[in-house]
Amino acid sequence: MLTKDENDLLTLVEGDAPMGRMLRENFWMPAMLAAPLEADGAPIRVRLLGEDFVAFRATDGRVGFLDEACPHRGTSLALARNEDCALRCIFHGWKIDVSGQVVEIPTEAGEAAVERAAQVKVNHYPAREAGGLIWVWLGKSAPGPFPDLGFCHVPLSQVSAAVTKVPYNWVGSIEATVDSAHIGFLHRDWLKNLPTLGGASMENTAPTYEFEDRPYGYRAAALRRLGDGTTHVRINEFVMPFHSSPGGSGDTQSSYQISVPVDNETTNFFFVRWNTAGPVNTGNLAPAGADLNNWVPLPGTRENNWGQDREAMTRGSFSGFDTFGILTEDTVVQASIGPIADRTREQLSASDMCVVRTRRLLIKAARDFMAGERPLGATGEVPYPHIRGATGVLTPGQKWQDELRMEAA
Ligand code: FES
Ligand SMILES: [Fe+2]
């Protein structure tokens, strides 16, 4: 349970909110999938931390990331022409390149136009392309270390990146990704597809948690003791400020769920899978052929209970969402909590230790930033490429800390 002030500090990111400022001054953020940005193609509007930007790929393949408003009189540059290595505003034809330089003011003649162009400041932001995503640095300070997570280090043919815009605050989105105990209930219809984890989650629905503090966040082990004397362990890595790698099948494939704040009540939920040994097994997380840019859209609204199928429930479905996929189950329950969870009214229990830990880390990061200190994860000591979730089965006497050191792999 949090106080109202703590919940505001934790969740709000727009304007001068400390959390939003902490995020923009310390962390690179995934802004969008890279694939929709085509050279000389349509610029794409991107909203982050309550502000509007435009991304485009120039003729030479470089990516530009600018404030959405044209510096002249504010026309949306999402409407601009994208040609000759620059955006040309359709209102008066001002031309702006990927570095934010105004390179042409065609409505003014001669030397004056050149001088005027040189004076105009356009807010532009360092952008990078990695792992199938466009990442942006929105801070005023020099960019910090780039979070080159494992999927940034394999060929793109071995990466599957998708995103969905969801109508709730980013912290709720993160909380769903670090909460292992819900699997045995919310995702019960899918457990048959998850042989080891599924069996363990059904047999023991009350995992105990153990933690290791890390220089980037924490590693949490959800331990499920089983009837045969073994212990199933599922390790989730939480990487500041919004990356979560859950334990998956434990082989060469891993995933990250990344919850990036669009504004106070909207989140870009990225889901990235990668396989170090070959193509990604795309599984059944979303319907086959789903649009990667709108990957697991909510199947309804509050008014129709998001399309829950009560008849399916009488036939054996646990959640009533089994026709959609595991991630739809996650997004529906989060949406049902509301745009920003009221954390002053919760009754937390032992299964919520990861949720509590995540909140504490984020609140501390905002407070550290306000005190002029670098928050956890922004100090340049993070072994990003090697951090990924894991699962395994321990025999009596084995310790997960010894057996499942994915970071060293
Ligand atoms: S508003 Fe963009 S050129 Fe005038
Ligand atoms: Fe889930």
pLDDT single digits (tens) 259-282: 999 999 999 999 999 999 999 987
Domain boundaries, the chain: 35-130, 150-408
Q: Is the CB of 70 under 6 A from ligand 1?
A: yes
Query: 175 alpha carbon to ligand 2 midpoint, in Å?
Result: 10
Which pLDDT value is given to residue 288?
76
Token match 């998708």: residue? Answer: 162
Q: What is the DSSP letter of 193?
A: G
> Tens of pLDDT along 276-335?
999 998 777 777 788 999 999 999 999 999 999 999 999 999 999 988 888 999 999 999
Long-range contacts of 139-145 (CB under 8 A, 24+ apart): 139/24, 139/25, 139/26, 140/25, 141/25, 143/28, 144/26, 144/27, 144/28, 144/378, 144/380, 145/378, 145/380, 145/382
> Tens of pLDDT along 350-371?
889 999 999 999 999 999 999 9
Residue 29 predicted with pLDDT over 60: yes
Residue 407 predicted with pLDDT over 90: no
Starting at the earlier edge strand, list the strands of the sheet with 86-88: 81-83, 86-88, 95-97, 102-104
Alpha helices for 217-371 (secondary structure H): 310-314, 326-337, 353-370
The pair phi, psi for residue 394, each rounded to 5°, is -105, 140
Residue 166 predicted with pLDDT over 80: yes
Token match 């609204």: residue? Answer: 301
Which pLDDT value is given to residue 200?
84
Q: What is the CATH number of domain 35-130?
A: 2.102.10.10
Buried b (16+ CB within 10 A) or exposed e, 292-306: beebbebbeeeeeeb
Cis status, amide bond into 241, omega within 30 of 0: yes
Structure tokens at 145: 């270390």
Mutate to test the pocket of ligand 1, among 67, 75, 81 (most ligand atoms within 8 A of CB): 75
Q: Atom 3 (ligand 1): residue with closest C-alpha? A: 92
> Tens of pLDDT along 388-401?
999 888 999 899 88
Query: The whole model's pTM is what?
Result: 0.95
If you average pLDDT over every residue of the chain, what do you get?
93
Query: 30 alpha carbon to ligand 1 midpoint, in Å?
Result: 28
- Name the CATH topology of 150-408: Naphthalene 1,2-dioxygenase Alpha Subunit; Chain A, domain 1 (3.90.380)
Containing 393, the helix (H) or strand (E) segment is strand 390-394
Mutate to test the pocket of ligand 1, among 81, 91, 102, 108 (most ligand atoms within 8 A of CB): 91
Query: 122 alpha carbon to ligand 1 midpoint, in Å?
Result: 12
Which pLDDT value is given to residue 34?
98
Of 66, 80, 76, the closest CA to residue 121 belongs to 66
Q: Is the CB of 89 under 6 A from ligand 1?
A: yes
Structure tokens at 354: 């990861």
Of 135, 133, 131, the closest CA to residue 159 belongs to 131
> Tens of pLDDT along 147-165?
999 999 999 999 999 999 9
